[in-house]
Amino acid sequence: MESKIFTTALNHLKLFGQSGLPKYEDEWTHFASICASFPDVKVLSNSNSTNYIFYFINSLLKMLFIFESVEVLSFGMGTKCLGASQLDKNGYSINDSHAEVLARRGFVGFLFEEFQNVYFGLVSKYFYLVDSKIGLIDGVKFHFCASHTPCGDASIFSVNEAENSVMNSSRPMHADDIFRTGAKCVLSGPQDPHGKLNKFHIVSQFRTKPGRGKIAIFFTY
């Protein structure tokens, strides 16, 4: 299922052509997506509904979620964020344009739109409304996928824990080393010791990303 979700997200990228993609060999970017999976309600839709054998098989397949459809709900690309000097005091500029942050923003927009539709009596294949409360339809699942671990604690883990030994790193890696993050601890809290190997970072700290110049923003939902 993981492979199907990731493939669906990558295929969504093709809809935009070269928009937002690196244009030169020395450029690169990351992508992130939030997808939904749900039982395919048309597994045996061509069968005669009066045939109880087909009806039983169809119901069983739905219950076991053997056949699932996947849809891309939100998609983003980016690796940068604005520096403190570029932030707008009125909040009109987007600070963080990392792929996973943009994907989350798009997903929040999707949720607001779906909730509004449900409250106004429109049909949703994700949510239902009962007694003024919104519930998730049975079998619906939301998935986050990304081409790289998000900045922060998610990127701080032992080399030995890496499932894939081929990780992007610009420095030699020791077996007792850890992968690192560019996110910095806020000045009001504990700081990374920057020691050797697995003593370079501490975890469970509030972090921010330093800005890296002007950026282009791209996200959809």
Per-residue pLDDT of the chain (221 residues; tens, 9 = 90+): 778 888 888 888 777 776 667 776 777 788 899 999 987 655 444 444 445 565 566 556 555 545 578 899 998 888 777 776 777 778 777 777 888 888 999 999 999 999 999 999 898 889 999 888 899 988 889 999 888 888 888 888 887 766 554 455 555 666 678 888 878 888 888 998 988 888 888 888 888 776 554 433 333 43
Do residues 145 and 6 make contact, with C-beta atoms less than 8 angstroms apart? yes
Cβ contacts of 176 within 8 Å, gap of 6 or more: 158, 159, 160, 197, 198
Nearest by Cα to 73 from 25, 5, 122, 20 = 5
Structure tokens at 87: 């932030």
Q: Is the pTM of this model over 0.75?
A: no
DSSP code per residue over the chain: -HHHHHHHHHHHHGGGTTTTS--STT----EEEEEEEEE-TTTTTTS-TT-HHHHHHHHHHHHHT-SEEEEEEEEEE-EEE--GGG--TTS-S-SEEEHHHHHHHHHHHHHHHHHHHHHTT---SSEEEETTEEEEPTT-EEEEEESSPPSSGGG--BGGG-SSS----SS---TT-B---S-EE-TTS------SGGGS---S--EE----S-----EE-
Domain ranges for the chain, please list them.
1-146
Catalytic one among 100, 113, 114, 163? 100
If you search the block for the tokens 């049909």, which residue do you land on?
123
State residue 46's pLDDT score: 44
Beta bridge partners, 220, equal 75
163 is catalytic: no
